[in-house]
Amino acid sequence: METTRMNAFGSGLKDYRMLIDGELCAGHEWAVSDNPADESPLGRIAVAGTDDVERAVSAAERAQPIWATRDVHERAAALRELGARLLARGDEILQLEVRDTGNTIGKMRGDLAGAVHLLDYYAGIACEIKGETLPFTRDRLHLSMREPCGVVARIVPFNHPIYFEVAALVGPLMAGNAALIKPPEQSPLSSAILGEVCAEVLPAGLVNILPGPGQTTGDAIVRHPRVRRIAFTGSVPTGMMIQRRAAEVCVKHVTLELGGKNPMIVFPDVDPEVAANAAIAGMNFAWQGQSCGSTSRVLVHESIHDEVAERIVAGVKAMHLGDPLDARSQMGPINSARHYQRVMDYVAIAKDGGAHCAAGGKRPAGSAFERGYWIEPTVFTGVAADMRIAREEVFGPILSILKWRDVEEAIAIANSTEYGLAGALWSNDLGAAMKAAMKLDCGYVWINGAGGHFTGMPFGGTKNSGVGREECMDELLSYTRQKSLHVTLSGV
Catalytic residue ranges: 257, 292
Residue 97's nearest CA partner among 82, 84, 107 is 107
Cα first-last separation, the chain: 65
* Chain centroid to CA 452: 14
- Are 285 and 319 in contact, with CB atoms under 8 Å apart? yes
Residue 51's nearest CA partner among 221, 245, 231 is 221
Length of the chain: 492
Residue 328's nearest CA partner among 104, 96, 37, 36 is 104
- Are 239 and 250 in contact, with CB atoms under 8 Å apart? no
Give the count of alpha carbons within 13 A of 67, CB side only: 30
229-233/151-155 β-pairing? parallel
- Are 143 and 117 in contact, with CB atoms under 8 Å apart? no
Instruction: Return d(Cα 158, Cα 162) in angstroms, integer.
Output: 9
Instruction: Return d(Cα 103, Cα 482) in angstroms, integer.
Output: 41
Instruction: Return d(Cα 355, Cα 481) in angstroms, integer.
Output: 49
Between helix 90-101 and helix 72-88 the angle, nearest 10°, is 70
- Are 253 and 285 in contact, with CB atoms under 8 Å apart? no
Instruction: Return d(Cα 395, Cα 168) in angstroms, integer.
Output: 21
- 487 by Cβ neighbours in 10 Å (0-12 / 13-18 / 19+) ranks as exposed
- 378 by Cβ neighbours in 10 Å (0-12 / 13-18 / 19+) ranks as buried
Dmax over Cα atoms in the chain, in whole Å? 86
Instruction: Return d(Cα 449, Cα 300) in angstroms, integer.
Output: 15
CB atoms under 10 Å from CB of 41, counted, come to: 15
Phi and psi at 409, nearest 5°, equal: -65, -45
